[in-house]
Chain A
Amino acid sequence: MAEVLTPIAENLWTNEAEPALIGGRLPSGKIVFPYPSGDAAEGVEPYRLSRKGTLWSWTRQDFQPKEPYEGPEPFQPYLLGYVELPGEVIVETRIVDCVLEDLKLGMPMEFVVAPFDATRSTYAFRPEKA
């Protein structure tokens, strides 16, 4: 069993058996992600986002980004995109457990906490298992 990975940031997702991203609900009812910081957080309630959504767009990062990127060496291309959480918000996310060719507009996606490097985890979505 691997060591437990540390989340890349605190309060990005919930600490529970089936974790979910933490967004915010504005006084207007609008849902945002991530939960705002500083004065922008005033009047914003933490909001547990849906673990399931649909693929809104995607791409693959094929070159190594400059800093502030902190991914593992040697660089491996990775997938990312936007997932629409119905009635809530469209979130930008890493995409894991699939290849570029698997991805289709509107396909069902599910939330997962994934390894980022040897010591840290980040959030991601993956195609929903049938």
Chain B
Amino acid sequence: MEDVYIIGAGIHPFGRTDGRSGRDQGVFAVRQAMADAGIEWTDVGCAYGGSAAAGSADIMVNELGLTGLPFINVANGCATGGSALASARNAIAAGEFDIALAVGFDKHPRGAFNAKPREYGLPEWYGQTGMMLTTQFFALKIQRYMQLYGISRETLGRVAEKAFRNGVHADHAWRRSPVDLETILNSPMVNDPLTKYMFCAPAEGAVALILASGKKVRELGADAVKIASVAVRTRPPGSFEVFAPSVDIDNGGKPTVLASKAAFEQAGIGPEDISVAQLQDTESGAEIMHMAENGFCKDGDQEQWLREGRTEITGKLPVNTDGGCLACGEPIGASGLRQVYENTVQLRGRGGGRQVPGKPKAAYSHVYGAPGLSGVCILER
């Protein structure tokens, strides 16, 4: 397969933008990505994109131009961005196009998501009795993990503290002021052990990436980063996922472990080669568990890692350098591509106050979502 590169990255600030639709935020990000790549809309051969709650992406051609390009709508929940990226890369790798667009955007109402049982093939009583909440799943997963591997509440707090500290330096972040550990630990409890500041909130935002073939990179003299691998995987048997009235007694399988292994194998490198990582942090506990699920540490080592600051921007493995979902919020369709955007910024050395020192060479991103799927992308400079 031919190598594929990212040559342009654009982002619409995350958070709340009243008066601008999710799709218009997407168009904003596409224009920024094209300007960054030094190309015009007429240069784009094909496009993949979508949102979870803000409509179809292909209507963007009204604003961007009626060039006749194939524009594929992607609707893959939390992996919408990751699936768009994988498809755009494959279109170029297959040799059909030289330039492709991957775009994700969203705009969610305030507050926790309220899912309908029927849409998930679940009985009504499951929702009526108050057991069908995404926040509960995250609390239940980390609660058990903390007991099994000795993770403290303070470590949960440290993850959030780092996120808000990093978000200060990210122009696109939503929360841009630091919050101290005590405030995080003492903020209202949402679902024990997770407090309000340990959870990300549904939000708005958009990300666009322009992908190109090696030939095009040379032609344009682009500031390119190589896509070493992309892998999207759904859940194996026995995994513990959101909206599960029961769990298999033979449990332990995880979609993240599958996606991570596939991505490392495809890239031909291992966790020790990664210089910066963006890991799904729907809440503090998710980042902790995902450090192990993605192969960066053993279960339980996170306690020491966080205490020693190993995942800080200046640490051995900086994690969520733009503040992740905790500081940026989670517009589902855009969230996975934000991680890839941030890694592109880091590998190009354009991170400013949040730049990882020492010219990072390999960057890892991991998105996770309902009903049990994971997308991993490794970029190389």
A positions within 8 Å CB-CB of B: 8-9, 12, 23, 30-34, 37, 56-63, 65-71, 78, 80-82, 84, 87-94, 100, 105, 116, 122
Q: Specify which chain B residues have a CB less than 8 angstroms from the CB of A23 in the assembled complex.
A: 246
Q: Let me know if A82 and B125 touch, CB within 8 A.
A: no
Give chain B residues whose Cβ lies under 8 Å from the Cβ of A122.
125, 129
Assess the A88–B125 pair: CB atoms within 8 A: no
Cβ B116 vs Cβ A68 within 8 A: yes
Contact with A along B30-70 (1 / 0, CB 8 A): 00000000000000000000000000000000000000000
Contact across chains for A62 and B192 when beta carbons are under 8 A apart: yes
A33 to B132, CA, bound (A): 15
Q: Are B189 and A87 in contact (CB under 8 A)?
A: no
Of the listed residues B125, B191, B193, the one surrounded by the most CB atoms of chain A closer than 10 A to its CB is B125
Interface 0/1 of B261-282, CB less than 8 Å to A:
0000000000000000000000
8 nearest A-B residue pairs (beta carbon): A68-B127, A66-B114, A57-B144, A59-B139, A33-B246, A90-B247, A9-B125, A105-B147
Query: Assuming the A-B contacts A82-B140, A91-B246, A105-B148, are A59 and B191 also in contact, with contact meaning beta carbons closer than 8 angstroms in the complex?
Result: yes
Q: Does B124 contact A (CB under 8 A)?
A: yes
The answer to whether B139 touches A8, judged by C-beta atoms less than 8 angstroms apart, is no
Q: Which residues of A contact B140 (CB under 8 A)?
A: 57-59, 81-82
B binding-site residues for A, Cβ under 8 Å: 111-112, 114, 116-117, 123-125, 127-133, 136, 139-141, 143-144, 147-148, 188-193, 244-249, 251
**Docked-complex contact A60 and B192, CB < 8 angstroms:** yes
Whether A100 pairs with B192 at a CB distance below 8 angstroms is yes
Task: Assess the A65–B246 pair: CB atoms within 8 A.
Answer: no
- Chain B residue, CB-CB nearest to A120: B128
Chain A residues whose CB sits within 8 angstroms of the CB of B191 once the complex forms? 59-62
Cα distance A62–B116 in the bound complex, in angstroms: 20
With A62-B188, A66-B112, A68-B116 given, can you name 5 additional A-B contacts, CB distance below 8 Å? A8-B128, A61-B130, A61-B136, A68-B117, A68-B124
Q: How far apart are A103's CB and chain B's nearest CB, in angstroms?
A: 9
Interface contact B143-A92, CB-CB below 8 Å: no
**Is there contact, CB below 8 Å, between B144 and A69?**
no
Q: Are B128 and A82 in contact (CB under 8 A)?
A: no
Q: Which residue of A lies closest to B246 (CB)?
A: A33
Would you call A68 and B143 a contact (CB within 8 A)?
no
The answer to whether B247 and A89 have CB atoms under 8 Å apart is: yes
CB distance from B44 to the nearest CB of A (A): 40
Q: Pick 24 A–B contacts, CB within 8 A, sort by A.
A: A8-B129, A9-B125, A12-B125, A32-B246, A56-B247, A57-B140, A59-B139, A59-B143, A60-B192, A61-B133, A62-B189, A62-B192, A65-B114, A66-B111, A67-B114, A68-B127, A68-B128, A70-B129, A89-B248, A92-B245, A92-B246, A92-B247, A105-B147, A105-B148
- Interface-central residue, A57, A70, A89, by most chain B CB under 10 Å: A57
Q: Which residues of A contact B116 (CB under 8 A)?
A: 68
Query: Given that A57-B143, A68-B116 are known contacts, is A34 also in contact with B188, CB under 8 Å in the complex?
Result: no
CB A79 to nearest CB in B, in angstroms, measures 9
